[in-house]
Amino acid sequence: MTRRRDDIALRETEASFSRRDLLKLLASGSALLLVHCGPVPPPPGEKRGASYDWTKHYWVYVVDISKCIGCCACMRACRAENDVPEGYHRTWIERYRIRKDGEVLIDVAQTGEHVFAEVKDEVERAYFVPKICNHCTASPCTQVCPVGASYQTKDGVVLVDDKACVGCGYCVQACPYGTRYLHPTTRVADKCTLCYHRITRGEKPACVAMCPTGARMFGDLKNPDDPITRLLKDTRTRFIKAELGTKPKCHYIGLDEEVI
Ligand code: SF4
Ligand code: SF4
């Protein structure tokens, strides 16, 4: 972990969405009116480890496409850990199949058991892509929230204060990655928290802990000895929809051109 990367990460946290970024997002049809932005203190009820200091960490997520076998253990772990309602996902796996003529077929694991349907058609290559909230450093979801219920923590996580959320759904519309939903029971915005209740106690997010192949990784950029910090120093990674200027924090290793 170099001092420079640390500085970049912190600068990105403070970055706001530029007019150019907004125009790009509007062109993608994903953004609504930008009303409110900026980090705010965590709500009083936020579950955190008792001695946790959010100024001492900067969390980052890494996916290695070549290691994902599409078993969906991560989805099941997330559902159990976070009580995700049936039919909704905080994280999911997409299967990409590329035909000889270049056609790209994409499907997702079925709800319920979270397994992929068996397919028999011939394809040239196939791979799985785990998707998750990117905890964007220039996050459109926090910027459109009219009451500041969606916010960024100092340690790089995007959260929702469910007591403050009025369920308007602006953030759901604004997220260009489709990672948010309105909870069918509580009617407030819901999404991946990086298992904030776990990581602030020194544990990994449930999806990372349960992945049998190490395809999902997680680390602290402020810790120079963290294996993920070292990995990111030496490995070329890419982001999904980087051109939108949202500055995602989920790094992908081996991301192919077909992935959207
Ligand atoms: S992926 Fe969507 S919900 Fe997550 S921080 Fe980015 S814009 Fe917000
Ligand atoms: S648990 Fe790991 S290998 Fe299995 S689908 Fe999830 S990311 Fe892929």
Give the CA distances from residue 115 to residues 94, 95, 107, in Å, rounded to whole numbers and listed in that order: 11, 11, 11
In this prediction, residue 26 carries a pLDDT of 41
State the ligand closest to the CA atom of 139.
1
| CA dist., res. 232 & res. 229, Å (int) | 5
Of all atoms in ligand 2, which is nearest to the CA of residue 214?
Answer: 2
Instruction: Return the sign of the alpha-carbon dihedral for residues 15, 19, 20, 23.
Output: positive
In this prediction, residue 46 carries a pLDDT of 54
In this prediction, residue 114 carries a pLDDT of 78
DSSP secondary structure string for all residues of 35-88: ---S--PPPTT----TT--GGG--EEEEEEGGG-----HHHHHHHHHHTPPTT-
Of all atoms in ligand 1, which is nearest to the CA of residue 246?
Answer: 6
Q: Is 217 in the pocket of ligand 2 (CB under 6 A)?
A: no
pLDDT tens string, the chain, 260 residues long: the values are 333 333 333 333 333 444 344 434 444 444 443 434 444 445 434 566 778 999 999 999 999 999 999 999 999 999 999 999 999 999 999 999 999 999 999 999 876 777 888 888 889 999 999 999 999 999 999 999 999 999 999 999 999 999 999 999 999 999 999 999 999 999 999 999 999 999 999 999 999 999 999 999 999 999 999 999 999 999 999 999 999 999 999 999 999 988 98
Distance 177 CA to ligand 1 centre (A): 7
Of all atoms in ligand 1, which is nearest to the CA of residue 142?
Answer: 8
Task: Please list every protein residue whose CB sits less than 6 Å from any atom of ligand 1.
Answer: 133-136, 139-141, 158, 175, 177, 179-180, 191, 246
Pocket test residue of 61, 74, 208 for ligand 2, highest count of atoms within 8 A of CB: 74
In this prediction, residue 47 carries a pLDDT of 61
Pocket test residue of 22, 30, 92, 177 for ligand 1, highest count of atoms within 8 A of CB: 177
Q: Is 77 in the pocket of ligand 2 (CB under 6 A)?
A: no
Q: What is the pTM of this model?
A: 0.83
Give me the half-sphere count of Cα atoms (radius 13 Å) on the Cβ side of residue 88.
18
Using a 10 angstrom Cβ sphere, with 0-12 exposed, 13-18 middle and 19 or more buried, the burial of residue 48 is: middle
Beta-bridge partner residues of 104: 98
